C-alpha cells in the first residue's frame, strides 16, 4: 500500500495566516502541520508517499521534506493545478499508485489512533469483497462533515454536510482504496461547487457493497479553522507522546 497526502487548497478559512504560506506548513505546537499526517502513514507501515499540493508552495515542501530519506520514507510530489476537490486531487496519483492500493489522508487531519492493523487487513482482502474503507468518529457538530448513516456493520450512505444529520458519525480524512478508485473518479460528476467530491466516490462503493468502516478512538482534529487549529495545538501539547514517535 502506498500513501497519499493531500496538501493543496487555498486555506481561505485561515486567512491571513495562509496569505504567504500553505496551510499545511503552519505550526501545530512544536511541529509543522504536514508532519502529523506523514507520521500517521509511517506508523501504519507505509513508507512510499506522494504529497499533492499547489505549485505556488511546492518549493517550500521540497525544501522541508526533500526526498524523505531523513524521515525514514520515500517522498515524491505532484501539483494540483486546479482546486477541483479531494477526488480531483486523488486522480493525479494514478501513475504513482502503479496498480497498488492507496491510503489517502488529508494534510490537516491529526489522529491519535494507529492504523497499522487496518493497513495489514486491507492488503489481505480479496478485491471482490472490499475495495474501500473509511473511518468514522462521533462528533458534536456532524453538520460540518460528511456524515455516515450506518446500520449494524454496514454503511448505508454518506451525506455531505447535511443540515439535519441522520447520525453523529463524521467521516474523517483518511480513506483506503484499491486500484479501482481511479476508474471510479472518472465516472464522478462535479458537484454544485465545481468539485469532484470524495463523498460521491465513497457512495459509489457503498452502492456496490464494496466499502467497510471502522469507528476510531482517541482524539481526531481537522486543523482547518482558527478554532480547530488552536484545539489541535492544545491536544498535541497534552498528548504529544501519543502522536509522535
**Cα 13 vs. chain centroid, distance in angstroms?**
18
Look-up: residue for cell 497534552?
Answer: 238
pLDDT at 64 over 80: yes
The pLDDT tens digits of the residues spanning 164-211 come to 999 999 999 999 999 999 999 999 998 888 889 999 999 999 999 999
pTM value > 0.85: yes
- CB contact at 8 A, 49 and 75: yes
Q: What is the DSSP letter of 188?
A: P
- Between CA 73 and CA 93 the distance in angstroms is 17
Report residue 244's pLDDT band, with 50, 70 and 90 as the boundaries.
low
Q: Note the pLDDT of residue 242.
A: 56
Q: Note the pLDDT of residue 124.
A: 87
137-174: b or e for each residue (b if 16 or more CB lie within 10 Å)? bebeebeebbbbbbeeeebeebbeeeeebebbbbbbbb
Radius of gyration of the chain (CA): 17
Look-up: residue for cell 502503479?
Answer: 98
The pLDDT tens digits of the residues spanning 117-148 come to 999 999 887 667 789 999 999 998 899 899 99
**Cα 206 vs. chain centroid, distance in angstroms?**
18
Domain annotation for the chain: domains and CATH numbers: 2-243 (3.90.550.10)
- Which range, 163-167, 174-178, 219-223, 227-231, has the best average confidence (pLDDT)? 174-178
Amino acid at each position: 500500500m502506498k500513501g497519499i497526502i493531500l496538501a493543496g487548497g487555498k486555506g481561505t478559512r485561515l486567512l491571513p495566516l495562509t496569505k504567504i504560506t500553505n496551510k499545511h506548513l503552519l505550526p501545530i505546537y512544536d511541529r509543522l502541520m504536514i508532519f502529523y499526517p506523514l507520521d500517521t502513514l509511517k506508523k501504519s507501515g507505509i513508507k512510499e508517499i506522494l504529497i499533492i499540493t499547489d505549485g505556488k508552495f511546492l518549493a517550500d515542501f521540497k525544501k522541508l521534506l526533500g526526498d524523505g530519506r531523513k524521515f525514514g520514507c520515500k517522498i515524491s510530489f505532484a501539483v494540483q493545478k486546479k482546486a477541483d476537490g479531494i477526488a480531483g486531487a486523488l486522480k493525479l496519483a494514478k501513475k504513482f499508485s502503479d496498480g497498488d492500493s492507496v491510503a489517502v489522508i488529508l494534510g490537516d487531519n491529526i489522529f491519535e489512533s494507529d492504523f497499522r492493523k487496518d493497513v495489514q487487513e486491507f492488503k489481505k482482502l480479496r478485491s471482490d469483497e472490499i475495495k474501500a474503507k473509511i473511518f468514522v468518529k462521533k462528533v458534536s457538530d456532524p453538520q460540518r462533515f460528511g456524515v455516515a448513516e450506518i446500520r449494524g456493520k454496514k454503511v448505508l450512505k454518506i451525506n455531505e454536510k447535511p443540515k439535519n444529520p441522520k447520525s453523529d458519525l463524521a467521516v474523517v480524512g483518511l480513506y483506503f482504496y484499491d486500484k479501482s478508485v481511479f476508474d471510479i473518479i472518472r465516472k464522478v460528476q462535479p458537484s454544485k461547487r465545481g468539485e469532484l467530491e470524495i463523498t460521491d466516490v465513497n457512495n459509489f462503493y457503498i452502492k456496490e457493497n464494496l466499502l467497510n468502516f471502522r469507528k476510531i478512538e482517541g482524539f481526531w482534529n481537522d486543523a482547518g479553522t482558527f478554532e480547530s487549529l488552536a484545539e489541535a495545538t492544545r491536544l498535541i501539547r497534552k498528548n504529544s507522546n501519543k502522536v509522535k514517535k
